[in-house]
Amino acid sequence: MMDLTTTFLGLKLRNPLIASASPLTGSLESIKKLEDNGIAAVIMHSLFEEEINHEIRQIDHFLQLHSNSNPEALTYLPNEVEFDNLHSEHYLEEIRKVKEAVDIPIIASLNGVSAGGWIKYAQKLQEAGADALELNITYIPTSMEMEGHMVEQMYIDTVAQVKEHISIPLNVKMNAYFSNPANMAKRFVEAGADGLSLFDNPTRADVDIELLTSLQRANITTSANLSETLRWCAILYQKLPCSLCANTGIHSAEDVLKAIMSGADAAAFTSVLLMKGEEEVSVILNNINDWMEKHEYVSITQMKGSISLAHTDNPSAYERNSYRYALQHYR
């Protein structure tokens, strides 16, 4: 009997397949279908900083109105912003409902950029029953005065503050565009990340030439987008006390196997589910089983990190040589 189990964020998973955040994971019906088809864990669609802050501002506005009409009312203002009975409550209610309906781990998702008051909401997600929390920080700096280290520090501060508010495991969904992703991975873990997703996939910048406006589109990937995921799983395997989740470009059993061999503990995907539906999970699982049987693997653990750079004396030289070889031996 094949052992497909793996451990991610300290959670024991029945296999390495995770549904990453998307509109699919905002629907209880889809989450149930994903579970029925064998998914091991689900990352819910994100709750955005802007949504929480909008509500904080609305409360402020409301309290200010009252305080203006009666200055003494100021003494009755709560010190802490109360989030209850607001729109974001729906997200908490979703977590509670999903947790009741399924047995697999449910990972909540917060999406924001700044170390501000909204971060307290992380605690609410934990209280609602989330088994872990994923944090997606996506910031596109446009100021030429903002130096790289300032952007990096903003990311690190946000992770550290979120960590202060929760005791459940924290997964940081990284992007691949830091000068040195390995250094950022290390600093995320030092700031409190228990796991890293490599990597988030940015939206696509586009232009609508009829409306004369720029726009961004959610990016549907293919297996060709797996490259950076594999590269960095292989580089970071066994380098940090955290789990690694391959994320972006996972479309097939082969992609999952490549990610595990590179050093990933789990593989998360969205595009393939949006294109082919929840049933694709069982197709991928069956194909993983078949491949392992054919190649006489008995467990995921056995193949984990087997082609990583963990035992390479000089990984940078190895990467440089492979790069040179690929260009010079093109046929």
Q: What is the dihedral of CA 235, 239, 244, 247, to 10 degrees?
A: -20
CB-CB neighbours of 219 under 10 Å: 13
Binding residues for ligand FMN, total number by CB under 6 A: 23
- Identity of the residue, 285 or 297, whose beta carbon is nearer to ligand FMN in the bound complex: 285
Among residues 135 and 297, whose Cβ is nearest to ligand FMN?
A: 135
Question: What gap in Å lies between CA 21 and CA 312, rounded to an integer?
Answer: 34
For the chain, give me the number of helices (H) and strands (E)?
Answer: 12, 13
Q: CB of 88 within 8 A of CB of 24?
A: no
Cβ neighbour number for residue 176 with a 10 Å cutoff: 17
Based on the shown chain and the rule CB under 6 A, indicate whether residue 248 belongs to the binding site for ligand FMN: yes
Q: Which of the stretches 88-96, 158-166, 242-250, 275-283 binds ligand FMN when contact is defined by CB under 6 A? A: 242-250
Instruction: Report the residue number, 105 or 297, with the smaller CB distance to ligand FMN.
Output: 105
Does 37 interact with ligand FMN (rule: CB under 6 A)? no
List 6, 158, 161, 247, residue binding ligand FMN (CB under 6 A): 247
- Count CB neighbours of 20 within 10 A: 29
- Rounded Cα–Cα distance for residues 161 and 63 (Å): 26
Question: For ligand FMN, which residue of 201, 243, 262, 308 counts as binding (CB under 6 A)?
Answer: 201
Among 15, 37, 88, 111, binds ligand FMN (CB under 6 A): 111
Q: How far is the CB of 68 from ligand FMN (least distance, A)?
A: 38
Q: Looking at beta carbons only, is 126 or 201 nearer to ligand FMN?
A: 201
Q: Tokens in use for 85?
A: 């009975």
Binding string to ligand FMN for residues 49 to 88, with x set by CB under 6 A, is what? ----------------------------------------
The yes or no reply on residue 136 touching ligand FMN (CB under 6 A) is yes
Task: Give the side-chain half-sphere CA count within 13 A for 30.
Answer: 21
- DSSP secondary structure letters along 49-62: HHHHHHHHHHHHHH
Choose, by CB under 6 A, the member of 30, 31, 39, 45 that binds ligand FMN. 45
* Interaction between residue 109 and ligand FMN (CB under 6 A): yes
Applying CB under 6 A, the span of 20-28, 50-58, 87-95, 319-327 interacting with ligand FMN comes to: 20-28
- Rounded to an integer, what distance in angstroms lies between the CA atom of residue 177 and that of residue 320? 19
The residue from 6, 20, 30, 243 that contacts ligand FMN (CB under 6 A) is 20
Enumerate residues 6+ apart whose C-beta is below 8 A from 244: 195, 196, 198, 233, 236, 237, 263, 264, 265, 266
Residues that bind ligand FMN (CB under 6 A): 20-23, 45-46, 109, 111, 136, 173, 200-201, 218, 220-221, 225, 247-250, 269-271
